[in-house]
């Protein structure tokens, strides 16, 4: 059971299409961006498809579907995971955060989102949700983040538009690393 099961906020039950009788199904309860979601899901339903098609949270993107590109990254109990490599039944009783859960209820952008705006950290935006979730997990970590760790996390997602420099600049600012000495951050405005 999730923490959210004790809340007084309403539970949203999402529907599932009919499945062949031979397909095993599971009842799951999952906290998604602070909302308790109940659903009956097939054993082999990918978490990406559950989020996008059943819960209608289409901010989580699908790129490679094999764990390489990072576009589908969400936070599971606070840690980044590839949602294309997880099955919906695996998140039963857990907490999932997607890019839709980053902004405040009044629409104010999270510090990482604001940094991406301020430092032009996106072009087409396809990779952006994955980068934001990965970098948010770093930003919300209790221990300090080093430049090497930032670069390691940036390596985990593909961007085909920006050349990464502005994404790196945005992350450096949001993580308080703008003035930390490291390998050259050409074009990052630091
Ligand atoms: S779609 Fe999941 S890593 Fe590319
Ligand atoms: S902004 Fe287009 S793929 Fe990264």
**pLDDT tens per residue, range 49-95:** 999 999 999 999 999 999 999 999 999 999 999 999 999 999 999 99
Please give the domain boundaries of the chain with CATH numbers for all domains.
3-101 (3.10.20.30), 111-174 (1.10.150.120)
Contact 130, 69 (CB under 8 A): yes
Structure-token match 């993107």, residue found: 61
* pLDDT number for residue 189: 43
Atom of ligand 1 nearest to the CA of 67: 3
Given the DSSP bridges, would you call strands 35-42 and 25-32 parallel, antiparallel or unpaired? antiparallel
Strand partners, 11: 36
Distance from Cα 66 to the centre of ligand 1, integer Å: 6
What is the distance between the alpha carbons of residues 63 and 67, in angstroms, rounded to a whole number?
A: 9
Which ligand places an atom closest to the C-alpha of 158? 2
182's tokens: 């490291």
72's tokens: 């589908």
Contact 37, 14 (CB under 8 A): yes
What is the distance between the alpha carbons of residues 188 and 47, in angstroms, rounded to a whole number?
A: 34
The residues of the chain scoring below 50 in pLDDT are 1-5, 185-190
What single-letter DSSP state applies at residue 161?
A: S
* pLDDT number for residue 186: 46
Distance from Cα 44 to the centre of ligand 2, integer Å: 29
* pLDDT number for residue 4: 45
* pLDDT number for residue 176: 94
For residue 30, the SS3 value is strand
What is the distance between the alpha carbons of residues 121 and 132, in angstroms, rounded to a whole number?
A: 10
CB-ligand 2 contact for 126 (6 Å cutoff) = yes
Which ligand places an atom closest to the C-alpha of 81? 1
Instruction: Report which secondary-structure segment, H or E, holds 115.
Output: helix 111-118
Distance from Cα 140 to the centre of ligand 2, integer Å: 24
Looking at the chain, how many residues does it have? 190
Distance from Cα 161 to the centre of ligand 2, integer Å: 4
What is the distance between the alpha carbons of residues 5 and 61, in angstroms, rounded to a whole number?
A: 28
CB-ligand 1 contact for 129 (6 Å cutoff) = no
Which ligand places an atom closest to the C-alpha of 160? 2
Helices 111-118 and 165-174: angle between axes, nearest 10 degrees: 140
**pLDDT tens per residue, range 143-152:** 999 999 999 9
CB-ligand 1 contact for 71 (6 Å cutoff) = yes
Kindly list the distances between the CA atom of residue 39 and the CA atoms of 15, 61, 78, 107, in Å, as whole numbers in the listed order. Answer: 7, 21, 22, 27
List the one residue out of 79, 42, 58, 99 whose CA is nearest residue 156: 79
């Amino acid at each position: 059971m999730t923490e959210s099961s004790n809340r007084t906020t309403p539970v949203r039950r999402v529907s599932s299409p009919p499945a062949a009788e031979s397909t095993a199904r599971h009842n799951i309860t999952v906290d998604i961006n602070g909302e308790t979601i109940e659903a009956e899901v097939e054993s082999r339903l990918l978490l990406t498809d559950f989020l996008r098609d059943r819960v209608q949270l289409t901010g989580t993107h699908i790129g490679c579907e094999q764990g390489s590109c990072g576009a589908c990254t969400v936070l599971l109990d606070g840690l980044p995971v590839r949602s294309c490599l997880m099955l919906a039944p695996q998140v039963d009783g857990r907490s999932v955060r997607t890019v839709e859960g980053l902004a405040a209820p009044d629409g104010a952008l999270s510090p990482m989102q604001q940094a991406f705006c301020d430092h032009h950290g996106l072009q087409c935006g396809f990779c952006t949700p994955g980068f934001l979730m990965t970098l948010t997990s770093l930003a919300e970590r209790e221990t300090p983040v080093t430049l090497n760790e930032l670069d390691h996390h940036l390596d985990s997602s593909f961007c085909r538009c920006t050349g990464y420099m502005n994404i790196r600049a945005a992350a450096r600012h949001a993580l308080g690393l703008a003035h930390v000495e490291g390998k050259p951050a050409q074009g990052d405005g630091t």
